[in-house]
Amino acid sequence: MLDRDGYRPNVGIVLINGRNEVFWGKRVREHSWQFPQGGIKPGESPEAAMYRELLEEVGLLPQHVKILGRTRDWLRYDVPSNWVRREWRGSYKGQKQIWFLLRLVGRECDVCLRATNHPEFDGWRWNRYWAPVDAVIDFKRDVYERALRELSRFLKGVESYEDYVSSLTGDTTGTDLSV
C-alpha cells in the first residue's frame, strides 16, 4: 500500500534499556544493522503495527515495554532506485514512518529473534543512543537522526547529538569542562 506520493506507511521502533542504550538488530544473513521497523497494514493503526512488528521482529509483547513517546508526524526517506523491486519502479519512492520510543520493562531474556518463521534479525546488541546514525545504511541516516532527535525529548540524561559527535572526534569546542 503506497500513498499518493509513492511512500509506504511504516513504523520504526527505538527500544531502549535502563541505561538509555538502543536495541540494534543485525539483519538475517547480512552485515547490516538497523532498528526494528515494518509496514502498516490497511486499516491498522501505527500503534497496532508497532506492537505487531515488535512481536514479529524482537519477540516482545506489550507487557515487556512501555511507550515513552512517538514522532509527531511522518518522517520520510527515499530508497535508491537500484534497491527498489523492478515491479515497483516508477511508483515507489520510499517509506514514511511514525517512530516509537519504547523502554524495555521486561528482561533481556524476553527478546526472542525467532518468534516467527521468518525472522528479520539473527543478532542484536545494545548501542549508545546516537550510534545508529553513523552505522545505518546511508539513505536512512537522515531519518534516523531526525527520529532520534525528536524522541530524545522523552529521555533524561541523553547527551545531545553534537556532544556525541564531539566525543567521537575528541573535539571539545564549545563544551565547558570546568565542572
Give the chain's domains with CATH numbers: 7-169 (3.90.79.10)
What secondary structure letter does DSSP report for 157?
A: S
Give every CB contact of residue 179 below 8 A, 6+ residues apart in sequence. Answer: none
Average pLDDT over the chain, rounded to an integer: 91
**pLDDT for 21 beyond 90:** yes
pLDDT in tens, 57-113: 999 999 999 999 999 999 999 888 877 766 666 678 899 999 999 999 999 999 999
What residues are paired with 78 via a beta bridge? 94
Give per-residue pLDDT as tens, 31-57. Answer: 999 999 999 999 999 999 999 999 999
Least confident of 124-128, 130-134, 163-167: 163-167
Q: Where residue 139 falls among pLDDT bands split at 50, 70, 90?
A: very high
